[in-house]
Amino acid sequence: MSSEGLWVWRHARPDGATGRCIGAGTDLPVHWRRSKRLARRIQKLAQRERLPKIIYSSPLRRCAEVGAWLKAWGWRHQQDSALLELDFGAWDGRAWEQIARAEVDAWVADFVAYAPGDGETLAELLVRAGNWQPQAGACLVISHGGWMLARRWRAEQGQVLPTAAIWPKPPRYGDLWRL
Protein backbone atom coordinates (compact mmCIF):
# COMPACT_ATOMS: atom_id res chain seq x y z
CA MET A 1 0.00 0.00 0.00
CA SER A 2 1.48 3.34 -1.02
CA SER A 3 1.85 5.91 1.72
CA GLU A 4 1.16 8.78 -0.69
CA GLY A 5 -2.23 10.43 -0.89
CA LEU A 6 -5.03 11.49 1.39
CA TRP A 7 -6.08 9.29 4.31
CA VAL A 8 -9.41 10.58 5.67
CA TRP A 9 -11.28 9.29 8.70
CA ARG A 10 -14.82 10.19 9.52
CA HIS A 11 -15.07 11.30 13.14
CA ALA A 12 -16.34 8.92 15.80
CA ARG A 13 -20.07 8.75 16.58
CA PRO A 14 -21.11 12.00 18.28
CA ASP A 15 -23.51 12.16 21.19
CA GLY A 16 -27.00 13.46 20.37
CA ALA A 17 -26.96 13.13 16.56
CA THR A 18 -29.60 10.45 16.07
CA GLY A 19 -32.60 11.70 14.10
CA ARG A 20 -31.19 15.20 13.70
CA CYS A 21 -29.81 17.22 10.80
CA ILE A 22 -26.21 17.72 11.86
CA GLY A 23 -23.84 19.91 9.88
CA ALA A 24 -21.27 22.64 10.35
CA GLY A 25 -23.49 24.61 12.72
CA THR A 26 -23.91 21.93 15.37
CA ASP A 27 -20.81 21.21 17.42
CA LEU A 28 -21.65 17.91 19.09
CA PRO A 29 -19.28 16.20 21.52
CA VAL A 30 -17.96 12.67 21.18
CA HIS A 31 -17.40 10.55 24.27
CA TRP A 32 -13.71 10.80 25.11
CA ARG A 33 -13.24 7.02 24.84
CA ARG A 34 -14.48 6.99 21.23
CA SER A 35 -12.22 9.94 20.34
CA LYS A 36 -9.22 8.31 21.99
CA ARG A 37 -9.95 4.95 20.32
CA LEU A 38 -10.02 6.59 16.88
CA ALA A 39 -6.81 8.49 17.67
CA ARG A 40 -5.11 5.20 18.60
CA ARG A 41 -6.24 3.62 15.31
CA ILE A 42 -4.82 6.58 13.39
CA GLN A 43 -1.58 6.43 15.35
CA LYS A 44 -1.15 2.69 14.70
CA LEU A 45 -1.81 3.04 10.98
CA ALA A 46 0.63 5.96 10.73
CA GLN A 47 3.32 3.89 12.45
CA ARG A 48 2.67 0.85 10.25
CA GLU A 49 2.66 2.91 7.03
CA ARG A 50 5.47 5.25 8.15
CA LEU A 51 3.27 8.31 7.68
CA PRO A 52 4.12 11.75 9.06
CA LYS A 53 2.79 12.60 12.52
CA ILE A 54 0.71 15.50 11.20
CA ILE A 55 -3.09 15.48 11.35
CA TYR A 56 -5.54 17.96 9.83
CA SER A 57 -9.06 18.20 11.20
CA SER A 58 -12.27 20.11 11.03
CA PRO A 59 -12.45 22.56 13.96
CA LEU A 60 -15.68 20.95 15.22
CA ARG A 61 -15.22 18.98 18.45
CA ARG A 62 -16.19 15.66 16.90
CA CYS A 63 -13.03 15.91 14.77
CA ALA A 64 -10.76 18.25 16.72
CA GLU A 65 -10.86 16.16 19.90
CA VAL A 66 -9.23 13.26 18.03
CA GLY A 67 -6.54 15.67 16.85
CA ALA A 68 -6.08 16.84 20.44
CA TRP A 69 -5.33 13.27 21.56
CA LEU A 70 -2.76 12.91 18.81
CA LYS A 71 -1.22 16.27 19.67
CA ALA A 72 -0.86 15.13 23.29
CA TRP A 73 1.12 12.15 21.93
CA GLY A 74 3.57 14.36 20.03
CA TRP A 75 1.76 14.94 16.73
CA ARG A 76 1.26 18.25 14.97
CA HIS A 77 -2.47 19.07 14.74
CA GLN A 78 -3.83 21.68 12.35
CA GLN A 79 -7.51 22.64 12.27
CA ASP A 80 -8.93 23.83 8.97
CA SER A 81 -12.46 25.17 8.40
CA ALA A 82 -12.30 23.94 4.79
CA LEU A 83 -12.77 20.44 6.27
CA LEU A 84 -16.16 21.31 7.83
CA GLU A 85 -19.37 19.45 7.12
CA LEU A 86 -22.06 21.04 4.93
CA ASP A 87 -23.64 24.08 6.58
CA PHE A 88 -27.36 23.30 6.86
CA GLY A 89 -28.22 26.82 8.05
CA ALA A 90 -31.53 26.96 9.95
CA TRP A 91 -31.93 23.18 9.60
CA ASP A 92 -28.76 22.50 11.55
CA GLY A 93 -29.38 20.73 14.84
CA ARG A 94 -33.11 20.28 14.24
CA ALA A 95 -34.86 16.93 14.20
CA TRP A 96 -35.47 15.83 10.60
CA GLU A 97 -39.16 15.43 11.40
CA GLN A 98 -39.31 19.15 12.32
CA ILE A 99 -38.09 20.27 8.90
CA ALA A 100 -40.96 20.94 6.51
CA ARG A 101 -41.38 18.19 3.92
CA ALA A 102 -41.72 20.87 1.21
CA GLU A 103 -38.24 22.20 2.09
CA VAL A 104 -36.67 18.74 1.92
CA ASP A 105 -38.47 18.10 -1.39
CA ALA A 106 -37.12 21.39 -2.78
CA TRP A 107 -33.59 20.31 -1.85
CA VAL A 108 -34.04 16.89 -3.46
CA ALA A 109 -35.42 18.52 -6.63
CA ASP A 110 -32.45 20.91 -6.92
CA PHE A 111 -29.90 18.87 -5.00
CA VAL A 112 -26.74 20.73 -6.06
CA ALA A 113 -27.95 24.35 -6.10
CA TYR A 114 -30.46 24.45 -3.22
CA ALA A 115 -29.12 25.74 0.11
CA PRO A 116 -30.82 23.72 2.86
CA GLY A 117 -31.97 26.08 5.62
CA ASP A 118 -30.34 28.95 3.66
CA GLY A 119 -26.95 27.46 4.53
CA GLU A 120 -24.47 26.08 1.99
CA THR A 121 -25.25 24.43 -1.33
CA LEU A 122 -23.84 21.06 -2.29
CA ALA A 123 -22.14 22.85 -5.21
CA GLU A 124 -20.24 24.98 -2.69
CA LEU A 125 -19.25 21.92 -0.65
CA LEU A 126 -18.08 20.12 -3.80
CA VAL A 127 -15.81 23.06 -4.64
CA ARG A 128 -14.55 23.45 -1.06
CA ALA A 129 -13.81 19.73 -0.61
CA GLY A 130 -12.44 19.26 -4.11
CA ASN A 131 -10.09 22.24 -3.89
CA TRP A 132 -8.65 21.49 -0.46
CA GLN A 133 -4.91 20.92 -0.81
CA PRO A 134 -2.77 19.33 1.86
CA GLN A 135 0.99 19.34 2.04
CA ALA A 136 2.83 17.26 -0.55
CA GLY A 137 2.97 13.56 0.14
CA ALA A 138 0.79 11.65 2.54
CA CYS A 139 -1.81 13.57 4.48
CA LEU A 140 -3.96 12.42 7.39
CA VAL A 141 -7.35 14.06 7.92
CA ILE A 142 -10.29 13.79 10.31
CA SER A 143 -13.45 15.18 8.74
CA HIS A 144 -17.15 14.57 8.20
CA GLY A 145 -19.26 12.23 6.09
CA GLY A 146 -20.54 14.96 3.76
CA TRP A 147 -17.05 16.37 3.19
CA MET A 148 -15.71 12.89 2.45
CA LEU A 149 -18.52 12.20 -0.02
CA ALA A 150 -17.94 15.53 -1.77
CA ARG A 151 -14.18 14.96 -1.98
CA ARG A 152 -14.63 11.45 -3.38
CA TRP A 153 -17.30 12.65 -5.82
CA ARG A 154 -15.01 15.34 -7.22
CA ALA A 155 -12.10 12.90 -7.49
CA GLU A 156 -14.14 10.22 -9.27
CA GLN A 157 -16.74 12.25 -11.18
CA GLY A 158 -14.94 15.52 -11.85
CA GLN A 159 -17.38 18.21 -12.91
CA VAL A 160 -20.35 15.82 -13.29
CA LEU A 161 -23.00 16.99 -10.85
CA PRO A 162 -24.88 14.53 -8.66
CA THR A 163 -28.59 14.18 -8.10
CA ALA A 164 -30.15 13.16 -4.82
CA ALA A 165 -31.02 9.78 -6.35
CA ILE A 166 -27.37 8.88 -7.05
CA TRP A 167 -25.67 10.57 -4.08
CA PRO A 168 -23.97 7.77 -2.10
CA LYS A 169 -24.44 7.01 1.57
CA PRO A 170 -21.84 8.48 3.93
CA PRO A 171 -19.09 6.39 5.47
CA ARG A 172 -19.73 4.92 8.89
CA TYR A 173 -18.40 6.73 11.92
CA GLY A 174 -14.65 6.10 12.28
CA ASP A 175 -14.28 4.75 8.72
CA LEU A 176 -11.08 5.43 6.77
CA TRP A 177 -11.14 6.33 3.08
CA ARG A 178 -8.12 6.71 0.85
CA LEU A 179 -8.85 9.64 -1.45
User: Order of strands across the sheet with 139-143?
Assistant: 76-79, 54-57, 139-143, 6-10, 176-178
Examine the pLDDT at 137 and tell me if it is beyond 70.
Answer: no
Residue 4's pLDDT is 65
pLDDT (mean) for 145-173:
96
CA 25 centroid distance within chain: 13
Share of the chain above pLDDT 70, in %: 96
pLDDT in the model for residue 134: 81
Q: Quote the pLDDT of residue 1.
A: 37
pTM, two decimals, is 0.94
Which tens digit of pLDDT belongs to each residue from 17-33?
Answer: 999 999 999 999 999 99
Domain 6-178: CATH class, spelled out: alpha beta
Supply the mean pLDDT for the chain. Answer: 95
Q: Where are the domains of the chain?
A: 6-178
Give the pLDDT mean for 85-102. 98
Mean pLDDT for the stretch of residues 3-8:
81
